[in-house]
A = this chain, B = another copy of it.
Amino acid sequence: MIALKVTIGDVAKKANVSKTTVSRILNENYAHTTAETREKVLMAIKELEYRPNALAKGLKSMRTNVIGIMLSNLKNPFWSTVLEGVEDTCRELGYNLMICNSNENPEMEEEFIKEFQMRQVDGVIINPTCKNPDLYDKLIDQNYPMVIVNRRIQNENAYGVVVDNVKGAYIAVNHLLKYGRKRVAVSLFKNPFVSTWKERLEGYKKAFLANGFTEADYIIMELEEGKDQKEYIKRFLRKHPDIDAIFSTNTMVTLEVIGAIKDMNLKIPEQIAIVSYDETIWSKYLDPPLTTIRQPGYQMGQRAAQSLIDLFQSKSKPLPATVVLEPELIVRISCGAIPKT
């Protein structure tokens, strides 16, 4: 038995009114309706189990109440948290969500933007690959409602929600240096496009300079995505046997770093201390419990969804701005300091 499609016309017929009247009542436009007809119509709707066709409504009204989110990675649990924030906010504000995953691939990114536009989503939240600057510029020029999350793009007129990555890296590395580490390496992906990695490197350097070190003290371990990172890290550590701490800018890499250190039979934190992005529910159960930088992912998702929806709901369009959220250092014993507990 296939569900019969019941339309606004069926409801109108059943209630002995016009489609117009039904439409008005559906949209809570009660100003022009008596309580009596309202009752009749609502009854008919209930009896027929009528559900408005959102396609038709969207086609006519030019708004779908759907927003799109494009992530670049589903594996990192940070993004689940962001997604949760976005999802909750959408539900509260009456929006539905379309999702896609660029996988850091700029062609995919462009393709998915097109698809979102064809589907007439009211706006998009995007963690950009950062490899499509012309695309971002074009969308912004066209006033396409868009909120950039997590990473920064080179455009003054973008709306964004980010976490302060310079600060996050700074407090991580500063902590290591304050507790006496001298040879602190940073691990990061060799990707000239992504702002987060540039900023975390900047924070790393800033902490060095603030603690009386010089550029000569930087130890930068650049990783290529997709390679066998553990092997590379081991080679790097053998080449730099004086390293006494590692600041890892990525959760997955951190695990490889821990693996490499264990393979080499070095002790954490006695011989090598670790501080890592991002805090997860596992961090405190790892061996050893991990000192991390916590990023407020849920809030990032919330703020992004709110800002986006503001963009097409508020009469006076808010000025372009990037909200900057604060990271937080969670101290555990992987960095050698005594945990606060």
Which A residues contact B (CB, under 8 angstroms)?
1-3, 51-56, 58-59, 64, 66, 74-75, 77, 79-81, 83-84, 87-88, 91, 96-101, 108, 114-115, 117-120, 141-144, 252, 255, 258-259, 280-282, 285-289
- Asked if residues A118 and B54 are in contact (CB atoms below 8 Å), the reply is yes
Name the distance in Å between A225's Cβ and chain B's nearest Cβ: 15
Question: A81 — which chain B residues lie within 8 A by C-beta?
Answer: 74
* Tally of this chain's copies: 2
Contact of A117 among B51, B66, B118 (CB under 8 A): B51
What residues of chain B lie closer than 8 Å to A55, measured between beta carbons?
55, 58-59, 64, 119-120
Give the docked Cα–Cα distance between A75 and B75 (Å).
12
A118 vs B5: C-alpha distance in the bound complex, in angstroms?
11
The 7 closest A-B pairs by CB, nearest first: A287-B287, A282-B282, A3-B142, A55-B59, A54-B118, A54-B119, A74-B84
Q: Is the CB of A75 within 8 A of B80?
A: yes
The smallest C-beta distance from A99 to any residue of chain B, in angstroms, reads 5
- Across the interface, A99 reaches (CB within 8 A) one of B75, B87, B142, namely B87
Report whether A84 and B101 are in contact in the complex, using a CB–CB cutoff of 8 Å: yes
| A98:B100 contact, CB within 8 angstroms | no
Q: A54-B120, A97-B99, A142-B3 in contact; A84/B80 too (CB < 8 A)?
A: no
Q: Give every chain B residue within 8 A of A83 (Cβ-Cβ).
A: 74, 99
Contact in complex: B143, A119 (CB < 8 Å):
no
Q: Which residues of B contact A56 (CB under 8 A)?
A: 59
By the criterion CB–CB under 8 Å, are B98 and A1 in contact? no
Question: CB distance A255 to B117 under 8 Å?
Answer: no
In the bound complex, residues from chain B placing their C-beta under 8 Å from that of A288 are: 287
* A228–B287 alpha-carbon span in the complex (Å): 24
In Å, the complex CA distance between A210 and B96 comes to 49
B84–A120 CB distance below 8 A: no
**Does the CB pair B118–A53 fall under 8 Å?**
yes
Instruction: Find out whether the CB atom of B59 lies under 8 angstroms from the CB atom of A74.
Output: no
- Alpha-carbon distance between A136 and B252 when the two chains are bound, in angstroms: 39
B residues in contact with A79, CB < 8 Å: 80
CB distance A142 to B1 under 8 Å?
yes
A143-B1, A282-B255 as given contacts; A59 in contact with B53, CB under 8 Å: yes
A63 to chain B, nearest CB (A): 10
Cross-chain contact B115 with A96 (CB below 8 angstroms): yes
Can you list 27 A-B contacts with CB-CB less than 8 angstroms, sorted by A residue number? A1-B141, A1-B143, A2-B143, A3-B144, A53-B118, A54-B119, A55-B120, A59-B59, A66-B98, A74-B80, A74-B84, A75-B80, A75-B84, A77-B77, A77-B80, A80-B80, A87-B100, A87-B101, A88-B101, A96-B98, A96-B119, A97-B98, A97-B99, A97-B100, A282-B285, A285-B287, A287-B289
Q: Which residue of B lies closest to A289 (CB)?
A: B287
**For A114, what are the chain B residues with a Cβ–Cβ distance below 8 Å?**
51
Cβ–Cβ contact B101 & A98, under 8 A: no
A71 (CB) vs chain B CBs: closest residue: B87
